Chains A and B, each alone.
Chain A
Amino acid sequence: MTTQIQARDLSKRFERHTRRAGMVGAMRGLFDRASETVTAVDAVSFDVARGEIVGYIGPNGAGKSTTIKMLTGVLTPSSGEATVAGFTPWSERRKLAQQIGVVFGQRTQLWWDLPLIESLELLQHVYRVPEQRFRENFTMAAELLELGSFLNTPVRQLSLGQRMRGDLAAALLHDPQVLYLDEPTIGLDLVAKTNIREFLAHLNREAGVTILLTTHDLADIERLCKRIIVIDHGHIVHDGDLARLRDKIATERTMTVDFDDPPTLDDQLETRGMRLLDQTGQRVRVAFERSRLTAPDVLTALTEYGSIRDMSIEEPSIESIIQHIYKA
């Protein structure tokens, strides 16, 4: 298993000039400017193996974009080291650029004034992609991302979702080994989101592209990532398997049961390790610790209160898991 992205104690501090309030403050600002240091990323370390898809998540201002900018080489860290595809990003930026693809959901990499197709053709020359290879990649992207209807539209006239698909196509024409995606589904409708997720999954599966993905849409994570890294206030607060995280944090499951007739429940439930959430007519919802009880245990216990028509089990939502981490 080769390591494709390696970050060691990466930190980035920004000087921020603060403006003092009011007239007097503004006058003072002419002579001595007040400034404070913001630590956007604080000693972040992780490894990403070739072919992995890692979700890099955290609340607003956590330091996700800043980390990605350092790993692409456009920002020089205040301290720490990193290697991406064998290069030190900020000192070998141009060499690394040939090996990576980047999509910043918030801004485009395409030329505003050019029709999408011309932007893509220009990129062929930027990355010196052989004609044959370019045609193959272009055809694949155009098909999977359904670019056909707006290839000849200038980029400035594209809708957000169209532009994002264009940007994705642009990011992989040169067969990058690593793909950084900073909020690639921001502001898109469900169809476009699904489309993009399937495309990324395809790319990872077929071409073995390593993907580091930030998003606030946890459905992206559930569809694409086995592993997530959670960052908050510049610190990594969790790094690991999504399933194991669920086991570790979200220990409580919920079972919903429909009885034939409204049952009369008693406090026996509590002593057996179940917690009654609510009861409406025939429908009863109980919560239980997955470490203490299995679903059949719970079901058996409940049959004592009447015959059961239907039941379902809910795993804790990924949102609640993430919230749990942020709060910790």
Chain B
Amino acid sequence: MRLYLELARTSFQQQFAYRAATLAGLFTNSIFGVMIASIFIAFYRSQGNDTVASWTPDQTVTLIWINQSLLMTVFIWGWWEVTRSIQSGAIVSELLKPFDYFSYWLSRDLGRAVAHFLLRGIPTFTVGAIFFDLLRPAGVAAAFGFLGSVTLAVMISFCLRFLSNLAGFWVLDHRGVSMMYVAIFNFFSGMLAPLDFLPDTVQTIARFLPFQAVLMVPNEIYLGRMPIWQGLGVQAIWIVLLTLLVKRILRAGEQKLVVQGG
């Protein structure tokens, strides 16, 4: 246990070294937040500022800013460390240590996520709150439920990323996997618009996929649109299922591992 805390602490601290990247990221998230939120405000105005698919204008704009703020915390794209280490053979030094490979990366990722929540999440949301009328959490319970839900969301997102990384055991080039993953995620997570805006059948499919548990569920808990325990429960189920799947595939991959080089 001590090890996993130390790992989380180390990767937490590492994030504070990348000052320029943090500022640039904050800028990008804010620009996207302003753009997407403005589009929705214009859209709502054309609808007479009525609710659309049961979402009020304020709720939708808040979701857009929460998504932009959480983007780095849940870390959806661009993490290929495991694939890279499989393909370079560096994975050898990790497999040679007496820790659980999955827990090793998970604890490092949780440390990273806490740092990104503080460095990217809160500042981005603050920018949003300055320029737009963002809603507060639906209540004290909702606020804490939201924090819990974000933690679980990080774990789900981590499992999904880890799974796509494990493809590295079988395919040599991760770019294909990467593009597919991003497209699917954007579509089914509620990243660009509340899921309720999608056609019914697509929505139904999305509700049975893990991607909505990464962004939609924390949002709905925050806004009080979903009972807290229901949201956390759904996330917990996904974590259990995904972890089991990860462990299965990891074991198969290790058997197949051919260490490259040296």
B259 touches A69 (CB 8 A): yes
Q: How far is the CB of B162 from chain A (nearest CB, A)?
A: 19
Given contacts A74-B95, A109-B96, A126-B98, contact A14 B6 (CB under 8 A): no
| A235–B96 alpha-carbon span in the complex (Å) | 26
A74 touches B96 (CB 8 A): yes
Residue A256 at the chain B interface, CB threshold 8 Å: no
| A104–B96 alpha-carbon span in the complex (Å) | 11
Q: How far is the CB of A75 from chain B (nearest CB, A)?
A: 6
B262 touches A126 (CB 8 A): no
Contact with A along B224-262 (1 / 0, CB 8 A): 000000000000000000000000000000010111011
| A125–B259 alpha-carbon span in the complex (Å) | 26
Which chain B residues border A45 with CB–CB below 8 Å? none
Q: Which residues from 291 to 327 on chain A have a C-beta closer than 8 Å to any C-beta of chain B?
A: none
Q: Which of A65, A76, A108 contacts B93 (CB 8 A)?
A: A108
| A74–B92 alpha-carbon span in the complex (Å) | 6
Residues of B contacting A: mostly: loop
Residue B97 at the chain A interface, CB threshold 8 Å: yes
B97 touches A107 (CB 8 A): no
A69 touches B97 (CB 8 A): no
Number of A interface residues in the complex (CB < 8 A): 30
Q: Which residues from 77 to 110 on chain B have a C-beta closer than 8 Å to any C-beta of chain A?
A: 89-90, 92-93, 95-100
B96 touches A97 (CB 8 A): yes
Q: How far is the CB of B68 from chain A (nearest CB, A)?
A: 27
| A109–B94 alpha-carbon span in the complex (Å) | 8
Q: How far is the CB of A43 from chain B (nearest CB, A)?
A: 20
Beta-carbon nearest neighbor of A97 in chain B: B98
Which chain B residues border A102 with CB–CB below 8 Å? 96
| A61–B100 alpha-carbon span in the complex (Å) | 32
Which chain A residues border B261 with CB–CB below 8 Å? 106-107
Which chain B residues border A182 with CB–CB below 8 Å? 262
| A243–B99 alpha-carbon span in the complex (Å) | 42
Q: How far is the CB of B4 from chain A (nearest CB, A)?
A: 9
Beta-carbon nearest neighbor of A102 in chain B: B96
Residue A122 at the chain B interface, CB threshold 8 Å: yes
Q: How far is the CB of A90 from chain B (nearest CB, A)?
A: 9
Q: Which residues from 91 to 142 on chain A have a C-beta closer than 8 Å to any C-beta of chain B?
A: 93-95, 97-98, 100, 102, 104, 106-109, 111, 113-114, 118, 122, 125-128
| A264–B258 alpha-carbon span in the complex (Å) | 65
| A106–B95 alpha-carbon span in the complex (Å) | 16
Given contacts A74-B259, A75-B257, A98-B98, contact A128 B93 (CB under 8 A): no
A14 touches B97 (CB 8 A): no
Beta-carbon nearest neighbor of B89 in chain A: A107
Beta-carbon nearest neighbor of A17 in chain B: B172
Which chain A residues border B90 with CB–CB below 8 Å? 107
Beta-carbon nearest neighbor of B92 in chain A: A74
Q: Which of B3, B7, B14, B257 contacts A74 (CB 8 A)?
A: B257
| A128–B2 alpha-carbon span in the complex (Å) | 9
B95 touches A127 (CB 8 A): no
B98 touches A69 (CB 8 A): no
Given contacts A126-B98, A127-B98, contact A75 B93 (CB under 8 A): no
Which chain A residues border B255 with CB–CB below 8 Å? 76
| A93–B92 alpha-carbon span in the complex (Å) | 12
Residue B204 at the chain A interface, CB threshold 8 Å: no
Residue A177 at the chain B interface, CB threshold 8 Å: no
A125 touches B262 (CB 8 A): no
Residue A72 at the chain B interface, CB threshold 8 Å: yes
Which chain B residues border A128 with CB–CB below 8 Å? 2-3
Beta-carbon nearest neighbor of B11 in chain A: A113
Contact with B along A220-259 (1 / 0, CB 8 A): 0000000000000000000000000000000000000000
Q: Which 9 A-B pairs have the closest CB atoms?
A: A106-B262, A97-B98, A125-B3, A109-B93, A98-B98, A74-B95, A125-B6, A94-B98, A74-B92
What are 20 A-B contacts defined by CB distance under 8 Å?
A65-B262, A69-B92, A73-B96, A75-B259, A76-B255, A93-B95, A97-B96, A104-B93, A104-B262, A107-B90, A107-B93, A107-B261, A108-B93, A109-B93, A109-B96, A122-B6, A122-B10, A125-B3, A125-B6, A127-B98
Known: A104-B93, A108-B93, A125-B6; 11 extra A-B contacts, CB below 8 A, are A69-B259, A74-B95, A75-B259, A76-B257, A93-B95, A94-B99, A104-B92, A106-B261, A114-B10, A125-B2, A126-B98
